[in-house]
Structure formats: structure tokens, C-alpha cells
């Protein structure tokens, strides 16, 4: 008989999580570590990354700016050389730019797409080389409900564009890599109380508007997103690839 709970274990797996110093990335590092994975915690905030490693136990930290191609290559190469394989990649690092489109500076636009889209591409390409060689692996990208729908609540064009790109990047990589045993999926969370959303949710009127548009009537917890990521990264999702899973309390079902 199949051991269903056993399929969620990640013993002897090496996982790399980007943007793992805070919020959803931090919760994901905890979830993967609790399932038995050795987690490489990466973040542009090196101090935060080290602190998360202290929290989760066995693991290692690396400073990583995912928008810096050379830095991505160096960090991935170092992790692969030390452990011999990388089994799980979680592309979590991201940021937005909430402002009217006509006021959005070109450099800010490029920076948001650079971190969210190019960062996922750089990490996926570099880690993917090792996964394809091993003919196994799981990639989980962080999309967003704003990659699946528009929003009348506030303008955030660069972020919405980037997260929409992540949805199709996920599909394209899933189709390309499936014959080689590598799965690629994404999660699309609704609003969570993190450093990224803190300024937005400080506006109590905005907070209530967003809650009214969420059928479950609350925001998602980082740990709930991490649980979905754990599932997609595990063998329990062995026949799932190319999917963007909303973790949104019903937001996209309206």
C-alpha cells in the first residue's frame, strides 16, 4: 500500500529557496526543513538568511541578489559542488511598485521585472542544469493572484505583468522539462501580512476592501502558502506539472 504521508517527506533532498529571509520564503524554508530537506536559505539580506538557518537547524545561508546573473551562477555552482545535487528550487524572491502607470519610472519597471521574472529565469536555468542531468527535480515559482486577474483596487502594473509572466514561464518550463523528469509548478497567493504588503495593509479602508473581495474573509498566512509549496515540491505531487495553484481563499473563484 502507498504511504501517502511518506510521499510528503523530503529526506536527503537539497532545496534552494530564494528570498527566504522573511515572509513566505522564511515559512517555506521552515516547511521544507521540517519535511527533512537540507535548505540553502538565500536572500539579498544576508543577516536575515543566517537567522533563518539558525531557526530551522541544518542548512546553510547565502547572500543572493537573484537579478544579478553572475551572482546566481556563483551561488548555484557553490551549492551544487558542495552537495552534488539540487533537488528543489523555490523561486520566491520578488517585489512590486504600487503607483500609477504614468508615474512608473522605467528603471523601477525594469527592476521589478528583473527580480521577479529574470530572477526566476536565472535561478531556473542554473539549477535546472543540475536537475536535468539527474533527471529529477521540482521547481516551484511564486506567482500571485495578480498574475491571474487584474485589480481595480490599486495600480501595480510592473508586479502584475511580472506575475503573469511567471504563470506562463511555469507552463513553458513544465512542458520542456517534463520528459526529463523535472516538474515545474507555481503557487498564486492572495495577500499575506508580510513586509511587501505592510504599507498597503496599513490603509484600513484598503484592508477592508481586500477582505470583502476574499470569500473566506481573511488574508492568507505565510505558513499556508508554504504548505502548498511543500506539497508541490514533494512526491505527493509526482503527476502534477505546469499548474499554478491559487492559495487565495476563493479570490480567483469569484
Which pLDDT tens digit goes with each residue over 197-217?
889 899 999 999 999 999 999
DSSP one-letter string for 207-223:
HHHHHHTSTTSSPBPHH
Q: What is the mean pLDDT of residues 222-246?
A: 98
The chain-wide mean pLDDT, for the chain, equals 97
- Grid cell listed for 95: 517585489
Backbone angles phi, psi at 213, to 5 degrees: -90, 5
Whose CA is closest to 243, among 194, 184, 202, 196? Answer: 184
- Dihedral sign, CA of 202, 228, 245, 122? positive
Q: What is the structure's pLDDT at 196?
A: 83
Q: What is the structure's pLDDT at 161?
A: 97
Domain 6-192+221-246 grouped into CATH 3.40.640.10 = no
Q: What is the structure's pLDDT at 152?
A: 72
Q: What is the mean pLDDT of residues 96-117?
A: 97
Q: What is the structure's pLDDT at 38?
A: 98
Q: Is pLDDT at 195 greater than 90 in this prediction?
A: no
Beta carbons of 184 and 241 less than 8 angstroms apart: yes
Q: What is the structure's pLDDT at 36?
A: 98
Q: Is pLDDT at 151 greater than 80 in this prediction?
A: no
Return the active site residues: 159
- Grid cell listed for 188: 498564486
CA atoms of 163 and 94, how far apart (whole Å) = 9
Both ends of the chain: CA-CA distance in Å? 39
The two counts, helices (H) then strands (E), for the chain are 9, 7
- DSSP 8-state secondary structure symbol assigned to residue 33: H
- DSSP 8-state secondary structure symbol assigned to residue 195: T
| pLDDT interval class at 1 (50, 70, 90) | confident
More confident residue, 230 or 193: 230
Long-range contacts of 80-83 (CB under 8 A, 24+ apart): 80/130, 83/14, 83/38
* The length of the chain, given as a count of residues: 254
What pTM does this model have?
Answer: 0.97
CA atoms of 154 and 146, how far apart (whole Å) = 11
Residue 135 CB contacts under 8 Å (≥ 6 apart), including other chains: 180, 181, 182
Q: Is pLDDT at 2 greater than 90 in this prediction?
A: no
| pLDDT interval class at 48 (50, 70, 90) | very high
| pLDDT interval class at 84 (50, 70, 90) | very high
Whose CA is closest to 122, among 114, 130, 112? Answer: 114
- DSSP 8-state secondary structure symbol assigned to residue 130: H
Q: What is the mean pLDDT of residues 177-182?
A: 98
In degrees, rounded to 5, the angle at the alpha carbon of residue 120 between the alpha carbons of residues 78 and 30 is: 70
Q: What is the structure's pLDDT at 100?
A: 96
- Grid cell listed for 76: 548555484
- Dihedral sign, CA of 173, 118, 99, 157? negative
- 3 state SS of 225: helix
Amino acid at each position: 500500500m502507498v504511504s501517502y504521508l511518506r510521499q510528503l517527506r523530503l529526506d536527503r533532498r537539497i532545496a534552494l529557496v530564494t528570498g527566504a529571509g522573511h515572509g513566505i520564503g522564511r515559512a517555506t524554508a521552515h516547511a521544507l526543513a521540517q519535511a527533512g530537506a537540507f535548505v540553502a536559505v538565500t536572500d539579498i539580506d544576508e543577516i536575515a538568511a543566517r537567522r533563518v538557518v539558525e531557526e530551522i537547524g541544518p542548512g546553510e545561508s547565502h547572500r543572493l541578489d537573484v537579478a544579478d546573473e553572475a551572482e546566481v551562477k556563483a551561488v548555484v555552482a557553490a551549492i551544487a559542488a558542495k552537495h552534488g545535487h539540487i533537488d528543489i528550487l523555490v523561486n520566491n524572491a520578488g517585489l512590486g511598485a504600487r503607483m500609477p502607470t504614468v508615474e512608473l519610472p522605467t528603471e523601477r519597471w525594469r527592476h521589478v521585472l528583473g527580480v521577479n521574472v529574470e530572477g526566476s529565469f536565472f535561478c531556473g536555468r542554473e539549477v535546472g542544469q543540475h536537475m536535468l542531468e539527474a533527471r529529477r527535480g521540482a521547481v516551484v515559482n511564486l506567482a500571485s493572484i495578480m498574475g491571474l486577474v487584474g485589480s481595480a483596487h490599486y495600480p501595480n502594473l510592473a508586479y502584475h505583468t511580472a506575475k503573469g509572466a511567471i504563470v506562463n514561464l511555469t507552463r513553458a518550463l513544465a512542458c520542456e522539462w517534463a520528459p526529463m523528469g523535472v516538474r515545474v509548478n507555481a503557487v498564486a497567493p492572495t495577500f499575506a501580512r508580510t513586509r511587501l504588503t505592510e504599507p498597503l495593509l496599513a490603509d484600513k479602508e484598503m484592508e477592508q476592501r481586500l477582505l470583502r473581495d476574499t470569500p473566506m474573509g481573511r488574508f492568507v498566512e505565510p505558513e499556508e502558502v508554504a504548505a502548498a509549496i511543500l506539497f508541490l515540491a514533494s512526491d505527493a505531487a509526482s503527476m502534477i506539472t505546469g499548474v499554478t495553484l491559487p492559495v487565495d481563499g476563493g479570490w480567483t473563484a469569484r
